[in-house]
C-alpha cells in the first residue's frame, strides 16, 4: 500500500490541512492499495485562492500559447499512457484492454482537440457595429466522477484552460490516483502555478466546500442527478454558473427491418462496457413484438461472451464494479426487477461462480420489462439490460421518451433516413444511428434530468466562456 501525501496547489504539492485520509480499494481484490489526503474546506480555500491569483495572467495569455501548453499536456498524458491505464485498472477495475484503449487513450485525443481549438477559436467577433468578446468565465470548480476518471477530468479541465479559466479539481474519492497523475502531467507540461489545482477528498466535505466557495465562478459537475440537484441549488443561490452532466436511462430502439443480430450484439457490448458504469449506456432495448423473442435470445447468447474476470488479464472484457456499495445496489435492483415481474433470462443477482473476491456482477438480461418497473426507470449503473416490446413506431417513440432522463439514445433501421427521422423526435442530447461512432468533437450532454450544458468540442469550450459586447 502506498500512502500519498499532499494537495497540488499553486504549482506544487503541499501538506494537507487536516489529518484525514481516504482509502483507495482495488475492486477486483478488495485490498486497500493506497491512501490519499481527505481534503478540508481549508484545503479548498487554499486552492481557490491560488486559482484566483493565477486567473488574470492566464486569462491574458494569448490563446495560441494556451494551445501550446495544452499540446504539451496531451503529450505528457501520452507519455504516461501505460501507467495511467494500469492505475485505472487498479482503482476502478476497468479491464486493462479497455483501460488502454479508452480510459487512457481517449483523453489524450480530447486534450489535443482543445489545444487545436484554443489556437483556432474566434474569441472575438464583429456583429454589425459591435465587437463581441468571448472571455473566460473565471475560476472553475470541477467535480468529477469515478467511472471515467481521466476522461471526465480532461473533458472539464482542457476546455476550461483553453478558454482562459483557472481550475480547482475535486476528483471522486474512489479514483484519486489517476487525478494525481494528471496533476503531475500539468506540471510537466509547464502550466503556470495556480492555473490547475487538485484537492482530493470526500464529496460532502471537499466537494461541497468547492461548490459553495464564493471565489468559484462556475461549477462543473458530473455525477448522480441527486447530487447534481444539490449543486445546482447551491450554485443558483449564489448566482454562479453551473454545468451538470448527470444520469441517463438511454433507449436503444430497434425498428422493424434493422439488422437484429448486429443491433442486439452491439447493445450488449455497450451495456457491459466499463461494467455498465457509463451514464450513456443503452440500458433499455425496445424491440417490435414480432422480433422480441429472437432479440432476447440473441442478447442472452451475446451476454455469455462476457464472463466476469480478472481485469489485469488482457483477454478480460468484464471487470468488477467500483465498490461493494455499487455491487450491492446493482444486485438489489436485479432482485427488484424480478420481484416486479421481469424475467431473468441470463445472469442474475447471485455472485459469479469462481470469484470469491471482488465486486463482481453477472451480465444480466431482463425480459418482459414494462415501462413502470424500477429497472425501466432508474439508472442501474451495472451490466444489466432490460428488454421492452412495442407494437408500432409511435409506441416505440413514446416508450423511448418516457423517462425522466434524456442523455443518449440509439436507433437501428434498414433505412438510415428512417432512423434519422425517428432520432429527430427522441428527447435526448445524442443519438447513435446504426452504431455510429463516438465523435469527440460533437457535443455531449442531455435533456431533462440528464443535466445542463454540454461537453466536448466547441460546445464544451463555450461552457467556460462569457460574452462582452463593445458598442462602437
DSSP state of 357: S
pLDDT in tens, 342-389: 999 999 999 999 998 999 999 999 999 999 999 999 999 999 999 999
How far apart, in Å, are the Cα atoms of 67 and each of 72, 111, 150, 324?
9, 10, 19, 41
| Residue 104 · residue 81 · CB < 8 Å | yes
Q: Is 428 a catalytic residue?
A: no
Residue 87 clears pLDDT 90, i.e. is over it: yes
Domain with CATH 3.40.605.10 in the chain: 2-246+450-471
| pLDDT number for residue 282 | 98
Residue with cell 425496445: 286
φ/ψ of residue 80, rounded to 5: -110, 25
Catalytic residue from among 245, 379, 455, 463 = 245
pLDDT higher than threshold 90 for residue 339: yes
Give the Cβ contact number of residue 184 at 10 Å: 15
Determine how many CB atoms are found less than 10 A away from the CB of residue 103.
25
386 forms beta bridges with: 284, 366
Mean pLDDT over residues 107-136, rounded? 98
Please report the beta strands in 151-209, taking only residues with DSSP state E, as ranges in sequence order: 166-170, 196-198
Write the CB contacts of 84 (distance below 8 Å, at least 6 apart in sequence). Answer: 77, 99, 103, 104, 150, 178, 181
Q: Summarize the confidence of residues 305-317 as an average pLDDT.
A: 97
CB 148 within 8 A of CB 225: no
Regarding pTM above 0.95, the answer is yes
Q: What is the DSSP string of 124-157?
A: EEEETTEEEEEEE--EEEEE--SSSTTHHHHHHH
- Average pLDDT over all residues of the chain: 97
Q: How far apart are CA 435 and CA 419, in angstroms?
A: 11
Any idea which residue has 470548480 for its cell? 141
- Which residues are within 8 A (CB) of 263 and not within 5 positions of it... i.e. 6 or more apart? 252, 254, 412, 435
- Which cell goes with 110? 480530447
pLDDT digits (tens, 9 = 90+) for 250-265: 999 999 999 999 999 9
Q: Bin 205: left if φ > 0, else alpha if -120 < ψ < 50, else beta.
A: alpha
Cβ of 404: how many Cβ atoms within 10 Å? Answer: 13
CB contact at 8 A, 407 and 283 = no
**Cell numbers found for residue 75:** 503529450
Cβ-contact 177, 103 below 8 angstroms: no
Segment 137-165 mean pLDDT? 98
Question: From residue 7, how far is each of 201, 381, 400 by CA, in Å?
Answer: 10, 30, 44
**Mean pLDDT, residues 310-322 taken together:** 98
Query: What is the C-alpha separation between 65 and 289, in angstroms, rounded?
Result: 58
C-alpha cell, 86: 494500469
**Nearest-angstrom CA–CA distance, 223 and 144:** 7
- Residue 135 is a catalytic residue: no
Q: What is the distance between the terminal CA atoms of the chain, rounded to a whole angstrom?
A: 63
Is residue 363 within 8 Å of 386, Cβ to Cβ?
Answer: no
The ranges of the chain annotated as CATH 3.40.309.10 are 251-439
- Answer whether residue 235 shows pLDDT above 90: no
pLDDT classification of 236: cutoffs 50, 70, 90: confident
Give kind and range of the element (H or E) at residue 89.
Answer: helix 81-92
CATH class of 2-246+450-471: alpha beta
Confidence check: pLDDT of 1 > 90 = no
What CATH code would you report for 251-439? 3.40.309.10
Residue pair 384/283 in contact by the 8 Å Cβ criterion:
yes
- In sequence order, the β-bridge partners of residue 244 are 221, 452
Which DSSP string do the residues of 206-259 spell out, in sequence order? IIHHHHH-TT-SEEEEES-HHHHHHHHHHHHHTT-EEEEE-----EEEE-TTS-
Handedness of CA 391, 392, 395, 399 (dihedral sign): positive
- CB distance 99 to 89 below 8 Å: yes
Of 279, 379, 428, 455, catalytic:
279
pLDDT tens per residue across span 393-437: 999 999 999 999 999 999 999 999 999 999 999 999 999 999 999
Helix (H) or strand (E) holding 432: strand 430-433
Average pLDDT over residues 336-347: 98
Amino acid at each position: 500500500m502506498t500512502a500519498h501525501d499532499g494537495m497540488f496547489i499553486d504549482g506544487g504539492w503541499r501538506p494537507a490541512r487536516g489529518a484525514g485520509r481516504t482509502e483507495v480499494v482495488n475492486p477486483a481484490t478488495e485490498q486497500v492499495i493506497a491512501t490519499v489526503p481527505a481534503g478540508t474546506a481549508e484545503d479548498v480555500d487554499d486552492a481557490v485562492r491560488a486559482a484566483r491569483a493565477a486567473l488574470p495572467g492566464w486569462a491574458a495569455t494569448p490563446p495560441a500559447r494556451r494551445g501550446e501548453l495544452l499540446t504539451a499536456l496531451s503529450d505528457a498524458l501520452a507519455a504516461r499512457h501505460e501507467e495511467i491505464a494500469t492505475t485505472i485498472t487498479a482503482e476502478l477495475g476497468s479491464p486493462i484492454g479497455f483501460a488502454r484503449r479508452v480510459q487512457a487513450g481517449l483523453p489524450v485525443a480530447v486534450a489535443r482537440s482543445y489545444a487545436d481549438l484554443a489556437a483556432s477559436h474566434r474569441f472575438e467577433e464583429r456583429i454589425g457595429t459591435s465587437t463581441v468578446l468571448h472571455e473566460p468565465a473565471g475560476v472553475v470548480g470541477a467535480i468529477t466522477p469515478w467511472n471515467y476518471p481521466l476522461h471526465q477530468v480532461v473533458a472539464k479541465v482542457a476546455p476550461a484552460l483553453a478558454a482562459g479559466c483557472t481550475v480547482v479539481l475535486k476528483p471522486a474519492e474512489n479514483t484519486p490516483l489517476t487525478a494525481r497523475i494528471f496533476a503531475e502531467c500539468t506540471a510537466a507540461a509547464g502550466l503556470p502555478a495556480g492555473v490547475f489545482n487538485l484537492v482530493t477528498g470526500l464529496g460532502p466535505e471537499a466537494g461541497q466546500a468547492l461548490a459553495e466557495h464564493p471565489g468559484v465562478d462556475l461549477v462543473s459537475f458530473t455525477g448522480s442527478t441527486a447530487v447534481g440537484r444539490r449543486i445546482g441549488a447551491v450554485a443558483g443561490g449564489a448566482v454562479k454558473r453551473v454545468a451538470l452532466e448527470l444520469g441517463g436511462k438511454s433507449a436503444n430502439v430497434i425498428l422493424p427491418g434493422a439488422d437484429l443480430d448486429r443491433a442486439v450484439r452491439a447493445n450488449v457490448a455497450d451495456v457491459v462496457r466499463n461494467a455498465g458504469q457509463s451514464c450513456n449506456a443503452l440500458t433499455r432495448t425496445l424491440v417490435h413484438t414480432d422480433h422480441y423473442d429472437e432479440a432476447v435470445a440473441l442478447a442472452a447468447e451475446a451476454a455469455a461472451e462476457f464472463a466476469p474476470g480478472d481485469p489485469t488479464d488482457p483477454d478480460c472484457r468484464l471487470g468488477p464494479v467500483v465498490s461493494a456499495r455499487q455491487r450491492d445496489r446493482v444486485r438489489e435492483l436485479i432482485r427488484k426487477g424480478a420481484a416486479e415481474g421481469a424475467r431473468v433470462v441470463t445472469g442474475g443477482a447471485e455472485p459469479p461462480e469462481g470469484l470469491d473476491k471482488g465486486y463482481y456482477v453477472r451480465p444480466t438480461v431482463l425480459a418482459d420489462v414494462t415501462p413502470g418497473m424500477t429497472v425501466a426507470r432508474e439508472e442501474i449503473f451495472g451490466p444489466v439490460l432490460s428488454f421492452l416490446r412495442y407494437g408500432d413506431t409511435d409506441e416505440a417513440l413514446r416508450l423511448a421518451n418516457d423517462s425522466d432522463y434524456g442523455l443518449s439514445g440509439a436507433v437501428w433501421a434498414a433505412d438510415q433516413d428512417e432512423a434519422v427521422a425517428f432520432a429527430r423526435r427522441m428527447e435526448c442530447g445524442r443519438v447513435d444511428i446504426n452504431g455510429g461512432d463516438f465523435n469527440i468533437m460533437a457535443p455531449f450532454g442531455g435533456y431533462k434530468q440528464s443535466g445542463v450544458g454540454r461537453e466536448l468540442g466547441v460546445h464544451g469550450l463555450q461552457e467556460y466562456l462569457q460574452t462582452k459586447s463593445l458598442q462602437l
